[in-house]
Chain A
Amino acid sequence: MRLLELAHARSGDKGDTANIGLIALKPEYYPTLVKQVTAARVARHFDGMIKDKVERYELPNLHALNFLLHGALDGGGTISLKTDAQGKVFSTALLRMEIEVPR
């Protein structure tokens, strides 16, 4: 199943780093996100699109995960030549990920 069916997301920038806040659509989906959407898995998902590491932070109170994708924005801000220089749609790019849902 696509992550799109379990979560919503918003992304933004800090310099050359894109952040993606990934939020479970229902609280009961959150443990699946924690288990499967790891920093390593996200780094593989964005292979070729980012130059540096991925960090993950947990916000269990909001049923959300926050990812920092370093070196994602071709220098970021005004330097970047990218259409998405501010990382606004990395959010939905993450939601393309395929997830195994426990039955």
Chain B
Amino acid sequence: MSQTGPLPTVRIAAGQGFWGDWLEAPYRQVTQGPVDYLMMDYLAEVTMSIMQKQKSRDPSLGYAKDFIPLMERILPTLVERRIRVTANAGGVNPRACAQAVAETARRLRLGGSLKIGVVTGDDLLRRLDALLARGHELRNLDTGRPLSDVRDRVLSANAYLGAWPVAAALRQGADIVITGRVTDTGLTLAPMIHAFGWTRDAWDLLAAGTVAGHTIECGAQCSGGNCLVEWETVPDLANVGYPIVEAHPDGTFLITKHPGTGGRITVAGVTEQLVYEMGNPAEYITPDCVADFTTIRLSQAGKDRVQVSGVRGRPATDKLKVSIAYFYGYKAVGTLVYAWPDAYAKAKAADRVLRQRLKDLGLKFESILTEFVGADATHGPLALRETRVEDLPEVQLRIGVRSPDRAAVERFTRELAPLILNGPPSVTGFAGGRPKPEEIVAYWPALIDKQVVEPCVELVEV
């Protein structure tokens, strides 16, 4: 697995930055050059509630279903090249996900050559009432409200586990580690802990691995994708290379990609990713450590190679973050397109007419939001101030409503189409039909004492 030589290196490749990322990426990562690990992050904040809903309809579901055909495609390469996988594709049903991968492996006649590790213990849904009864209030980190306010509407509740249970599965020989709610960064840090024998109090090393994880957890966002600096010169995004960490036992690492792939790895692009979704940079808190992003040193070590060093860390806290999803209400968003002349003025007039009608109908909404796409939807008044709105060739009226009352939202969706014939002129773009009311599943972040969460590691032999 590791190369022999003075400075052993472990190569960890990012294959998915979120559930729904580019399907070609993991295949290319394992076939276009040498890697030791393939890391795939599937879980965004409310993904678990979608999976919980699928599991409640069919107890054999509740994980990232497209992980299975992906594994079918790459398993022979993984076995042949001895590449190991860490993925939180297990969602709210990691065991079922592992079984499905095992069946796929058997069908491919890979039996006897594969061990699948399963990490569970993150799911707190069934323990919630017991935890609340024992005084764990699970207050919302943003609003301070206790979970009891929305307890009857909770759909899923998962503690974020860190790298250690994943590293334990690797130590027990797992070739593929499938987890529930393990942190994005833990999936990258775990192979380093395993390969280099890092200890639980090696805070600087754990912080370095965490920074490596944060850098590649969004896939190509650190290798040329969504990169603002000199964006028009980023080469061959059609064949963008996803990032690879070349990690060393001393905590230094390189960010690189396979030769011949598109995209670009530069200090500027890596910096953009480092500050992405950042809070206080001196306190990047994970279950494994507290990483200090103000200590990171970057340097360009060659074409498409960025060297990272100097990372310092502090002891982990005694809490774990908990991701809770709960039913919030309903929303719908509809659009109409107004054309020149006076496109913006017509869209504004249509918005006034629509709002008057909603008011006259006596419908109650928690929020009505109007945006004029092409004028102010993304940059608001900052854009309008610098735009000659009378010259705009077209403006999309985009209006959304939110309410606990489904009937009010439903009625709103019927008020858009009539405007085409009974509102301001030069309007089109309603081909998509009436918008559909959507259920809102909202996110409730909380903290819980680490000691009440017990990660569990199992092995499935194939």
Query: A44-67 toward B: CB 8 Å interface, digit per residue (1/0)?
Result: 011111000000011111111010
Query: A1-44 toward B: CB 8 Å interface, digit per residue (1/0)?
Result: 00000001111111111010101010000000000000000000
Q: Residue among A45, A62, A66, A68 with the most chain B CB within 10 A? A: A62
- Enumerate chain A residues within 8 angstroms of B282, measured Cβ to Cβ: 57
Looking at the assembled complex, report how far the CB atom of A27 sits from the nearest CB atom of chain B, in whole angstroms: 11
By a beta-carbon cutoff of 8 Å, the part of chain A in contact with chain B is: 8-17, 19, 21, 23, 25, 45-49, 57-64, 66, 68, 74-79, 81-84, 89, 91-93, 96
Say yes or no for B425: interface residue by CB 8 A criterion. no
Query: B429-444 toward A: CB 8 Å interface, digit per residue (1/0)?
Result: 0000000000011110
CB <8 Å contact, B275 and A62? yes
CB <8 Å contact, A59 and B377? no
Known: A23-B268, A81-B367. A10 touches B296 (CB 8 A): no
CB <8 Å contact, B278 and A79? no
Say yes or no for B242: interface residue by CB 8 A criterion. no
CB <8 Å contact, B46 and A45? no
CB <8 Å contact, B381 and A48? yes
- Enumerate chain B residues within 8 angstroms of A8, measured Cβ to Cβ: 228-229, 268, 272
CB <8 Å contact, A10 and B442? no
Known: A15-B443, A66-B278, A82-B369. A25 touches B229 (CB 8 A): yes
Known: A57-B282, A64-B275. A93 touches B380 (CB 8 A): yes
Looking at the assembled complex, report how far the CB atom of B219 sits from the nearest CB atom of chain A, in whole angstroms: 14
CB <8 Å contact, A10 and B228? yes
Q: Chain B interface residue count: which class?
A: 35 or more
Bound state CA distance, A61 and B294, in angstroms?
A: 6
- Where chain B touches its partner, the secondary structure class is mixed
Say yes or no for B340: interface residue by CB 8 A criterion. no
CB <8 Å contact, B402 and A79? yes
CB <8 Å contact, A83 and B445? no
- Enumerate chain A residues within 8 angstroms of B379, measured Cβ to Cβ: 89, 92-93, 96
Known: A21-B278, A59-B275. A77 touches B45 (CB 8 A): yes
CB <8 Å contact, B369 and A21? no
Looking at the assembled complex, report how far the CB atom of B176 sits from the nearest CB atom of chain A, in whole angstroms: 30
Looking at the assembled complex, report how far the CB atom of A17 sits from the nearest CB atom of chain B, in whole angstroms: 8
What would be 9 A-B contacts, judged by CB atoms less than 8 Å apart?
A14-B277, A21-B274, A49-B382, A57-B281, A63-B271, A77-B442, A78-B441, A83-B378, A84-B378
Query: B350-383 toward A: CB 8 Å interface, digit per residue (1/0)?
Result: 0000000000000000010101010001111111
Bound state CA distance, A59 and B281, in angstroms?
A: 7
Known: A57-B282, A74-B367. A81 touches B275 (CB 8 A): no
Say yes or no for B400: interface residue by CB 8 A criterion. yes
Looking at the assembled complex, report how far the CB atom of B246 sits from the nearest CB atom of chain A, in whole angstroms: 21
CB <8 Å contact, A10 and B273? yes
- Excluding A21-B275, A57-B280, A84-B378, 6 further A-B contacts by CB distance (< 8 Å) are A15-B142, A17-B142, A49-B382, A78-B441, A79-B328, A79-B442
CB <8 Å contact, A62 and B276? no
CB <8 Å contact, A23 and B378? no
- Enumerate chain A residues within 8 angstroms of B382, measured Cβ to Cβ: 45-46, 49, 93, 96
CB <8 Å contact, A62 and B274? yes
CB <8 Å contact, A61 and B280? no
Known: A9-B228, A21-B272, A62-B296. A78 touches B378 (CB 8 A): no
Known: A66-B281, A81-B402. A10 touches B226 (CB 8 A): yes
- Enumerate chain A residues within 8 angstroms of B226, measured Cβ to Cβ: 10
Looking at the assembled complex, report how far the CB atom of A44 sits from the nearest CB atom of chain B, in whole angstroms: 11
Q: From residue 268 to 302 of chain B, which have CB atoms closer than 8 A to chain A?
A: 268, 271-282, 293-298
- Enumerate chain B residues within 8 angstroms of A10, measured Cβ to Cβ: 226, 228, 272-273, 275-276
CB <8 Å contact, B331 and A48? no
